[in-house]
Amino acid sequence: MAQRVEVGEAETAADREAGMISTPSGVDALPLNEQPQLVASLKGKSHKHPALSKRQKLRDLLAGDLNFHGEDSSYASHDVHAFAAKFPPQLPRAFMRGLTVPGDFVLDPMMGSGTTIVEALLAGRHGVGLDIDPLALRISQAKTTPMRVDDLRDIGRKVISQAQGLLADKSMEALIQKFDSRTKAFIDYWFYPNTQRELAALIRAIQMVEVSLVRRFLELTFSSIIVTKSGGVSRARDLAHSRPHLDKEKHPKHALEQFSMRLQKNIKSMSHLDTKGALTVPLPGDARSMPLRDEVIDLIITSPPYANAIDYMRAHKFPLVWLGEPVINLTERRTRYIGSEKINGAQYVELPDKTESIIRQLAERDRQKSSILRKYFAEMKAVLSEMYRVLRQDSPAIVVVGPSIMRGIDVQTHHCLAEIAQEAGFDVVGVVQRILDRNKRMMPARFGKKTDAMIEQRMHEEYVIGLLKPALRHSRPEFFML
């Protein structure tokens, strides 16, 4: 195996100009003044051959305790916003520390709330995150952007004061009426009139903040009082679990009071975000077609959507409509998510034998469900191929996935994804089970009658798939810059 050359040690002008990130059609780069900039070159010690191979290190990590029960997961910025089914930060931290060194590049191509890239910052690694969900992007951008705490407090107080003044302004009613009819019907169903006025006043005051990064942080705090594990300002029983249920007996909390309390909590959390000189880039991008060059990533850690499981947009549209996203646009965007049930126009993709066998078995009971499952695995095949492409040789990928039951059949998602990854060129180092800490990992809650198909009943464990992109015998050193 060729020795890896230090990044920045032999860069050419062409290397610096080309960069690592290329933006394909349909992926919009963030405004330059609103995203962290990646360094043109990195200085540091060159990589030495480890005492243990990457394969052995990965095998040892998979054999360790990955349950992390009872451990605090609310440190740094991890707790600034609820997000369904996010894995504990200790999991990516363990693999980062065991498989990378400071200055390495860690990717989460389906970053969700940004747990992996926050841990990359804290560990002194450079984090790259991709997602197509607009709320996931907002959360990840805010969680990984260090800001002056005093500025956040001062501007936050002004926003609350302005919102209180706006409540007496009749123009708030006119602002609420500006929503399109479908979005207005959604808001009227889920939010009481008094709550609507408070939220309209808050969002109007936030929009007047000139500093974009502070405004994004305040919008995140605004969203966090709507998407909550319990309570919250909407009429939904529980939004943090992603499946809203109307609670006619609920008395929603006052939005201004909740925003004030949550703001102080979030500011305190952000004050503990120590970046150790590392940088992150949360980008809008599709894991099926990543805006990254070949072989530039040292480690991938990700948790893809579960097959036939969590519909994130059901909850995410609650704050997004207040942030300017019409319901009809969000509904259309939802069809583009991996695992969505829209199968019209989906291309047929041949899959490995075991995966094909499970799909055929499901087709005997439900052809529609089998088509949805085929589409999911076809999409994940594209993701795994892209992961293989962007990884350096002799570099690992960690995929965390839960089980799914469809029409009483265990589709064995972990085995199927391992099989698909192997076909893509990966070595499967191991697949291990981890038992979920139900008090920590927020899963869809059980409401109403019990059924065998309910997601809550089957999400008691998940699987960690350890993959390795093998080194080629005649590989050449790669240099790149972000």
Among 270, 295, 321, identify where a domain stops.
Answer: 270
| 8 Å CB contact between 131 and 284 | yes
Q: 223 lies in a domain? A: yes
281 and 430 inside one domain:
yes
The per-residue pLDDT for 41 is 33
284 residue type, one letter: P
**What is the number of structural domains in the chain?**
2
Distance of alpha carbon 235 from alpha carbon 227, whole angstroms? 11
Q: 326 lies in a domain? A: no
351 and 434 inside one domain:
yes
The per-residue pLDDT for 7 is 29
215 and 300 inside one domain:
no
Distance of alpha carbon 482 from alpha carbon 15, whole angstroms? 10
Low-confidence ranges of the chain (pLDDT < 50): 1-46, 441-458, 474-482
178 and 306 inside one domain:
no
Residues 192-208 have pLDDT tens digits of 999 999 999 999 999 99
Q: 125 lies in a domain? A: yes
Q: 156 lies in a domain? A: yes
In terms of Cα–Cα distance, which of 427, 308, 337 is closest to 134?
337
The per-residue pLDDT for 169 is 78
The per-residue pLDDT for 346 is 65
373 and 243 inside one domain:
no
225 φ, ψ (degrees, to nearest 5): -85, -10
Q: 4 lies in a domain? A: no
The per-residue pLDDT for 17 is 37
239 and 347 inside one domain:
no
- The DSSP string of 234-298 is SSBS-STTS---B-TT--PPPHHHHHHHHHHHHHHHHTT---TT--EEEEE-BTTB-SB-SS-BS
In terms of Cα–Cα distance, which of 248, 237, 242, 254 is closest to 196?
254
125 and 204 inside one domain:
no
Q: What token pair was written down for 36?
A: 């962290």
250 and 283 inside one domain:
no
What CATH number corresponds to the domain at position 279? 3.40.50.150
Among 270, 286, 303, identify where a domain stops.
Answer: 270
Distance of alpha carbon 157 from alpha carbon 384, whole angstroms? 46
Q: 316 lies in a domain? A: no
54 and 191 inside one domain:
no
17 and 73 inside one domain:
yes
pTM: 0.84
Distance of alpha carbon 112 from alpha carbon 35, whole angstroms? 17
The per-residue pLDDT for 130 is 98
Q: 291 lies in a domain? A: yes
The per-residue pLDDT for 75 is 93
Q: What token pair was written down for 333?
A: 């965007």
Q: Which domain holds residue 158?
A: 149-270
Among 239, 270, 301, identify where a domain stops.
Answer: 270
Distance of alpha carbon 363 from alpha carbon 225, whole angstroms? 42
Distance of alpha carbon 41 from alpha carbon 251, whole angstroms? 54
294 and 427 inside one domain:
yes
207 and 69 inside one domain:
no
Q: 335 lies in a domain? A: no
The per-residue pLDDT for 473 is 56
- Environment class of residue 159 by beta-carbon count within 10 Å: exposed (0-12), middle (13-18) or buried (19+)? buried
